[in-house]
Chain A
Amino acid sequence: MSAPVIEVQGLKKYFSTPRGMLHAVDDVTFKIEEGKTLGVVGESGCGKSTLGRTIIHLHEKTDGKIFLDGKDISDLKKKELKAAREKMQIIFQDPYSSLDPRQTVDATIREPLIVSRRYTKAEIDEKVEALMDLVGIDARLQMAYPHELDGGRRQRVGIARALALDPRFVVCDEPVSALDVSIQAHVLNLLKKLQQEKQLTYMFVTHDMSVVRHISDDICVMYLGQVVEKCEAKELFRNPVHPYTKALLSAIPSTDIDNPNQREILTGEITSPINPKPGCRFAARCKYATDACHEPQVQEEIAPGHFVRCCRCHEIG
């Protein structure tokens, strides 16, 4: 078997703040195989976007290793880093603010092709047209500005730009959360179609549980910078083990009016990610918490491919 497209080991990203070190991503380890999607879910501020951005080197990591196609890219500099970055792209959350309002659709998609210095003018013209066709933007909109486009089309422009240099790995950072449901479905279908055609590998960051269940092969649940549970998507919804995952899944408002969820209402607010204590970060809100939870937690594989970071997972699972 070939190497996974993306592998991270013990990845850490801390931000220095006046009040101390903010542990945005703390000791995250996972791999994603070619053509697969890893969904990353969690509350706002849990570090899911920072994780994606650190992997593709938009943030400089604090510690840990990142591998792309088996090659260690953790500490690349300049030229090599530029080459690696071409293989890793990102689709941003808000298509209203992630596009330059003074650049046309054409210029937005063209820019990465020019920067790469790999193509002639004629090749670039051809590629821009092909990309617009690929993501389903009418050729008549080539010279349109972002304000002339609706949210769905803007997000398609963002996708075309991300795919311009044929990346291996794409971080999708909440790509549909700013869109209405009827438009959201178009964009999700497009992302899936492109993945199949181009064997793309996705990391899909979202807080929408129905979207993540639909699009992911595997899912990581993050809480305050740490992965608390990771397993196959269906397994997570069938058999959640970590108390936070359970609470998260039970909080989803179900559209099944005959069988409403037995909601587990969490009390308390998220504890601060600044200088966190060594124990389980969920302990303050967890109804199963005991003294052992204030010791550092280790990730355990409780079933093949099902990882949980909770010392009481066997008792409560």
Chain B
Amino acid sequence: MSENMNSPYLSVKDLFVEYYSNDQTVKAVNGISFEMEKGSVLGLVGETGAGKTTVAKSILRILPDFGCQIKSGEIYLDGQDLLSLKEEEMRQIRGNKIAMIFQDPMTALNPVMTVGDQIFEVVKLHNDMTDEQCKARAEEMLETVGIPKERYEEYPHQFSGGMKQRVVIAMALACDPDLLLADEPTTALDVTIQAQVLDLIRDLQKKFNSSMILITHDMGVVATTCDNVAITYAGRIIEYGNKEQIFHHPTHPYTIGLFGAIPSMNGDDEWLHPIEGLPPDPTNLPVGCSFSPRCPYVTDVCRQEGDVPKRITADGHICFCYNMDKVGKEEQ
């Protein structure tokens, strides 16, 4: 996925993550691999339960200690093997080199602490600065995200949803992270506020030349924000490409299905084209291709044991599908 021969900035290799409850094993991530260049934005797209958030939490190593395990895989950030680090070493990286913007600003903030102090805390933890310097930095961050610094002493309940999300963004960006993990950062917001917040994140990401993984299920958000797109399904990436490849030439039947299920802003189709069936049960994944039970192009080969082979075009568009040639032809 990287075009040059240098090692990529972030690489995730063959990541497998499982959750355990009672006697069941939930296979949340089943062999995800991808690479990212510095300063690029990757959209991680998929439905509920596709394993998107689990991937982000694995990179940050904030998965729960009990009932959850990274079975295998490697995660390298700037040449550093994150999974082999000690907890104290990892703590230096969290919030400093890697930061996460959580989905729900209503629950990501501490309700009994002023918003200014919450940003102050992050700065103080990761920098060798005096309290005055940390406070100045926290005020500067508030202003960066468009909140007057006079509101430093206010509590989260005094802020609207959009303002709270901006506080969460200010916390995430307070230490100039190299890698930003944004988990559905605008899902809880209205469209006009969403546009403001997306513009803000993108501006700041460019300003600091951070890399960003944007987790979302909204193709419109992907189109306006990302450089590359990974489509996930049942804990695997089933298609990967740059924005043009994914939006102009979606190849995997699931990706095509996703586009068909969104009501068009231009067309006048009376009926939508939903994907038949339901996402698979992660405790009991289908043999072969996970999408095969819902796929209109399914053939016997899709249901055979083993991983679906990776197909890659000359310009780096990756797709995991036995029948992708057939799919492409019918589209034209």
Contacts and interface: CB of A to CB of B under 8 A. Distances in A.
A152 B150 CA distance: 45
Interface stretch (B114-122, B130-138, B216-224, B314-322): B216-224
Nearest to A186: B274
A221 B35 CA distance: 43
Interface stretch (A97-105, A158-166, A209-217): A209-217
Interface stretch (A120-128, A224-232, A253-261, A273-281): A253-261
Interface string B240-267: 0001100110000000011111111110
Given A181-B258, A253-B223, A189 B191 contact: no
B261 to A, nearest CB: 4
A117 to B, nearest CB: 38
Contact of B224 (A152, A180, A253): A253
A308 to B, nearest CB: 19
Contacts of B194: 251, 253
B265 A248 contact: no
Given A180-B47, A182-B274, A185-B274, A263 B195 contact: yes
A272 B252 CA distance: 47
Contacts of B206: none
Nearest to A193: B271
A270 interface: yes
A210 B264 contact: yes
Interface residues of A, number: 40
Contacts of A270: 160
B contact residues, range: 35 or more
Given A257-B223, A266-B196, A251 B272 contact: no
A183 B274 contact: yes
Interface in A180-208: 180-186, 188-189, 192, 207
Nearest to B49: A180
A252 B220 contact: yes
A189 B221 CA distance: 24
Interface string B192-211: 11111011000000000000
A184 B220 contact: no
Given A189-B271, A263-B195, A255 B160 contact: no
A243 to B, nearest CB: 12
A210 B261 CA distance: 11
B293 interface: no
A269 B162 contact: yes
Contacts of B48: 151, 180
B278 interface: yes
A265 interface: yes
B244 A189 contact: no
A181 B256 CA distance: 13
Contacts of A248: 191-192
B192 A260 contact: no
A182 B223 contact: no
Contacts of B195: 250-251, 253, 263, 265-266
A182 B248 CA distance: 20
A67 interface: no
Contacts of A237: 265
A69 interface: no
Contacts of B83: none
A214 B273 CA distance: 13
Contacts of B257: 182
Interface in B8-55: 47-48
Nearest to B268: A234
Contacts of A94: none
A287 to B, nearest CB: 13
Nearest to B190: A43
A257 B243 contact: yes
16 contacts: A43-B191, A180-B48, A181-B47, A182-B279, A183-B278, A184-B274, A185-B274, A209-B191, A210-B262, A253-B221, A254-B223, A254-B224, A255-B219, A255-B262, A256-B223, A263-B199
